[in-house]
Amino acid sequence: MTMAYYNYKPDNWDEKQKQKQTNKNKMKTKDIFMIISAIIFISLCNFWGMPVLSIGFFGLPAIIFFTGLLIFFFDFEDGEPAGSWRVWLGGIAIVVGFIWFVIVPIFSSAMFRSSDLRQLIGNIDEKQFSNDISPIDPSRMVLIDYESAAKLGDKKLVDRDAALGSVVTIGKYTHQKIGNDLYYAAPLNHTGFWKWRENKQGTPGYILVNAHNQKDVRLVKEVNGRPIHLKYQSGGCFGDYLPRHIYKNGYKGYGQFEYEFEIDNDFNPWYVVPLYEKKVGFNPNGKDVVKILIVNPETGEIKEYTPETLPTWVDRAQPKALVTTQFDNWGEWVHGWPNWAHKDQLKLSQETQLIYGEDGVCYLYSGVTSVGQDAASVGFILTNGRSKKTTFYHAGGANESSAQASAQGKVQQMGYKASRPRPYNINGVWTYVMALKDNEGLIKAVGLVSYSNYEIVGTGETIMDAIRSYKSALNNRGDNLAVSEDNTHTPYIGIVSRMGMDTKDGQFYYYFIFQSMPQTLFVSTSSISNEVPLTKIGDRVKIMYTAGNEGEISIENFDNLELNFIKTPAQVRVDSTATKVEKRINDETLNTRVKAKLDNMTEEEKLKLLNK
C-alpha cells in the first residue's frame, strides 16, 4: 500500500506536464522572437537613425530606453506582466535610459556649466576698430548672394540641359575661393529613390556661379576631359547617402556638421565635413570641431585632417552655425548664471557670413549688439575660418538690418530689396556693400552704407557709380574718412591734360587726367571746391587724394593754382581757423591711430618695440 501511495498520480498529471512543456516551448519561442526583434530594432536604429555612440549624445540612451520598452512589452501575457526575467531586464533598461536621457543632461545645462560654455570659442582678442581687412578692388566685391546664385544656377541647368534638369536637383551652394576668384558651387543631386536606382554611378557634375559676375555661370560635367560622377551625396540612398557612408566607415562616435561642397584649385569636387564632439556634457551648445574629413564624392575615399593640417584650398573648417553659437555663449554667460538683468551681455546681430580680404583669408563676420538693444551695433567680430581665432572689434555703428533699411530707403520709389550686406574697406572706410534687387531677384543696383553712420548712403547702377555717390555723400556730410595706415592722404600738384564731365543721378562728376600721371583717372564733384567746374585743360592744380584699389581715385581736396580769387577779410579768418582745425584733427587722428596700434599689439611686440 505504501508503494501504491507514492506512485499515485492525479488523473490530470500528464496534461499538466504537457501544459508546462508547452509553456516552456512558448517561452523559448517568445525569447527567441524577442531577441530577434531587439536585434532588428537596434539595427534599424543604427542604419536609419545613425545615432552618435558617444558620451554626451542622446542616441545611445535613447536606444537603451526604447529597447527596454520592447523587452518589457514581450513579458505581457493576456494584458498582464508575467513577472519573468524580461520585465526586470526591460525595467532596468528603461530606468537607465530615462536617467541618462533626462536626469543626467540637467547637470550639463548653463545652470552648472556656464563657464565651460563661455570658454568654448577660445580666447577672444578685444580691440579698438582698425582695418584688418585690406581695401579691395571694386571688381572683386561680392554682390551675388546665395539666393541670386540659386536662381542663376537653376536657369543655367534648364537652358543647358533640360532633360538633365528633370532627373537631378541642385544641392546647397557653398561660397568659396577657387584660385583667385570667388564662386558659389553646388552639386547635382538625385531627385529621389527611383532616379538614384536608375543612375547608381552618380550625377554628372556640379554648378559653378561666379560671385563677381552673374554672366559667368557654368554646368561642369568634366574636369580635364574626365567625366564627373558624384556617387556619394545627400541625394544618394542606402550606402550612397553621404552621412551614412561616413558613419559606417569608422565615425559612429562623432557628430557631423552640415557638409560643404568645395572645389579645389584644379576644379575637382570634394565634400568637407567637420566632425564634432560634445565638450560640455549633454548640452546641445557644447559642440566643438575635433576633426575635418575630406570625402571624394566619386570614389568615397575619406581623408582625415585637423584644422591645422587642412589643404590650403579648403577655405574653412569652422561651420558658421558653430561660431554663431559659441560667440553667443561667450556674450551671454559673461557673468555666469543667472544674469536676469542681462548685464554686459552681447550677441551677434545675425548669423555669421563669409568675407575675404585682399590677402585671400576667409573670415566669418557678424555685427555684435547688446542683448535687448538690436537697433545698433557695438562692434563686430572677425573669425578666421580655419583656426577659429576670433577678434572682437569695439566700434559703434549700424547693424546689418539698419544698413539694409537705409539702402532700401534711398531707392524706395523703385521698390528694390537689399541683399544681406557684406562689409568692405572702401578706401579706408568700413562700409556695408549690398545688391539692390527687384521682385524677380535680379540685381538692379548697388548700395553702400557707412558702418559708423547709416544715414550716409550711396547707390548706383554699378559698383563704381555707387562708390562715387557714396563718397559724394561723405563729402556733403563733412564726415572725416577713417583712413587706415595703409590709406594716407597724398598731396599732388600737376597740369591737367584731359578732363570731362558726366551726370549720374542728378550729380555732376568731373574727371581729370594729369600730364605726369597719364594712366590714372581722378574724379571730383563741385562739392569739393567751386573751382572744379571752372578748371580747364592746361591748368595747374593742387589736389589731395587717398590711394586705394578703386579703378578711379577720388579727389578729396582741390585747389586750382591758376585761379586767384580775392578773399575778403572774413574769408581769410575762416580759412585760417579751418587750417588750425584741420591740423588739430590730423594730429588727433594720428594720435588715435598710434594708440589703436599700441592697444592691438601683444606684450611681446611692445617689448620688441622698446628694445629697438
Q: Cβ contacts of residue 234 below 8 Å, gap of 6+?
A: 171, 187, 189, 241, 242, 243
Contact by Cβ (8 Å): 367, 454 = no
**Pick from 1-10, 24-33, 366-375, 493-502: least confident:** 1-10
Nearest CA-CA partner of 410 in 469, 466, 457: 457
Q: What is the pLDDT of residue 570?
A: 58
Q: What is the pLDDT of residue 548?
A: 58
HSE value, Cβ hemisphere, 13 Å, CA-based, for 364: 26
The grid coordinates listed for 310 are: 587642412
pLDDT (tens digit per residue) in 175-215: 998 888 889 999 999 988 888 888 888 899 999 999 888 88
| More confidently predicted of 597 and 148 | 148
Q: What is the pLDDT of residue 278?
A: 92
**The pLDDT of residue 38 is above 50:** yes
- Cα 446-448-454 angle, rounded to 5 deg: 140
Nearest CA-CA partner of 535 in 521, 524, 551: 524
Residue 78 burial (CB count, 10 A): 5
Q: What is the pLDDT of residue 592?
A: 45
Q: What is the pLDDT of residue 327?
A: 92
Contact by Cβ (8 Å): 550, 137 = yes
The grid coordinates listed for 519 are: 594712366
What's the average model confidence in pLDDT over 483-496? 68
Residue 147 burial (CB count, 10 A): 14
Q: What is the pLDDT of residue 436?
A: 92
Residue 113 burial (CB count, 10 A): 20
589: pLDDT confidence band, cut at 50, 70 and 90?
very low
What's the average model confidence in pLDDT over 505-534? 83
**Pick from 267-271, 400-404, 470-474, 596-600: least confident:** 596-600
Q: What is the pLDDT of residue 209?
A: 93
Contact by Cβ (8 Å): 307, 387 = yes
Q: What percent of the chain has pLDDT over 70?
A: 79
Q: What is the pLDDT of residue 214?
A: 83
The grid coordinates listed for 14 are: 500528464
Supply the mean pLDDT for the chain.
Answer: 81
249: pLDDT confidence band, cut at 50, 70 and 90?
very high
pLDDT (tens digit per residue) in 92-109: 888 888 888 888 888 888
Nearest CA-CA partner of 186 in 224, 129, 212, 148: 148
Residue type, 97: G
Would you state the torsion angle of the CA atoms of residues 48, 53, 54, 55, taken in this order, to the nearest 10 degrees? 90
87: pLDDT confidence band, cut at 50, 70 and 90?
confident
Q: What is the pLDDT of residue 32?
A: 80
How does DSSP assign 300-313, residue by residue? --EEEE-TTT--TT
What's the average model confidence in pLDDT over 540-562? 78
Task: Return the domain boundaries, the chain.
Answer: 19-107, 138-321, 400-477, 569-612
| More confidently predicted of 549 and 294 | 294
Three-class SS of residue 318? coil
Burial profile 54-70: b = 16 or more Cβ within 10 angstroms, e = fewer = eebbbbbbbbbbbbbeb
Q: What are phi and psi of 190, to 5 degrees?
A: -65, 145
